[in-house]
Amino acid sequence: MDAEQYLVLFDVDGTLVDSQLQIMDAMKDAFMAIDHPVPTLQDILSIVGLSLPDAFSRLLTNKPQHIQERCAETYKLAFAEARAKGAKPQFYPGVYEVLDELYRHPNYILGIATGKSRRGLNALLDSYEIAPWFVTAQVADDHPSKPNTSMIKTAMREANVDRNCTVMIGDTSFDIDMAKSAGVFAIGVGWGYHPHTKLAAADMLVHQATDLLGAIENLLRE
């Protein structure tokens, strides 16, 4: 077995955990606060992965910025309130086991690149007691929205790994576009929020978590 170190970056919502219920509930509160019809499920899922300012600018293209900002703030408060009441997104089948195996593997370094806030990500990782598994965790607080490459470049620098030894795993076109622009490998997952056609630029597309380890190995250690 080689001693090379490989960085495996994960998106969170739609990739590691299914937070669709929490997202929809918070969206309803956010749009009710500005007396605006709630977008369709398809429209809402299409912006998951973007930072909140970018997401609401897309959902409220005809509204002024201060309305978009108010909506985003209400969304954050609603999401945080639900979390405080015990709402907890669940891992997709098999994903926790994949993370556990990667964490225990001597050649892999785990990282996160997510549109979530630092507070939201920390709460999720702490609830599953897996925060120590991740060497680097990039969040919306500190970076431009995906698909800007800032998250991946910072993660590689923190992990001291170059782009040829890095893979980004995500469920949206924003994840895949970010990875390809950064010059790293991209794996799309078929259980998340964007249709498979939006993930066509990925190096590989997997449809169940049990296929992730093989896909990672094929790309990084071929």
Give ∠ CA 145-128-188 in degrees, rounded to 5.
Answer: 45
Report the distance separating Cα 54 and Cα 57, nearest Å: 5
The candidate with the shortest Cα–Cα distance to 89, out of 148, 37, 184, 14, is 14
Q: Of 2, 13, 141, 162, which one is the catalytic site residue?
A: 13
Q: Of 2, 11, 25, 162, which one is the catalytic site residue?
A: 11
Let me know if 35 is a catalytic residue: no
Q: How far is CA 103 from CA 96, 132, 134, in A?
A: 10, 9, 8
**Residue reference for tokens 């918070």:** 26
Report the distance separating Cα 68 and Cα 61, nearest Å: 9
**Residue reference for tokens 């698909």:** 147
Let me know if 11 is a catalytic residue: yes
Report the distance separating Cα 120 and Cα 115, nearest Å: 10
8 Å CB contact between 75 and 30: yes
User: What residues are labeled active site?
Assistant: 11, 13
